[in-house]
Amino acid sequence: MAEDPAVAALLEDGFQDVVALSSEVVGNLPIPLSAARPDIRIQEMPIW
């Protein structure tokens, strides 16, 4: 799957933002999401 470097960079930046936000939200939960639902995986990334 070939990617345009500019698109890849944009997706990488967006992914980092999502990870940061997810980490902040999960960090505020009493039980880590991964422990509560180990089957959860990011299946789809939003396309901007």
Which residues are CB-contacts of 14 (< 8 A; sequence separation ≥ 6)? 45, 46, 48
Q: pLDDT truncated to tens, each residue of the chain (48 aa)?
A: 556 887 778 777 777 777 777 666 666 665 555 555 555 555 555 665
Q: What is the pLDDT, as a whole number, of residue 30? A: 57
Query: What distances in angstroms separate CA 43 from CA 5, 39, 40, 46, one per listed residue?
Result: 22, 11, 9, 10
Structure tokens at 13: 């930046």
Q: What is the pLDDT, as a whole number, of residue 42? A: 54
CB 17 within 8 A of CB 47: no
**What pTM value is reported for the model?**
0.31
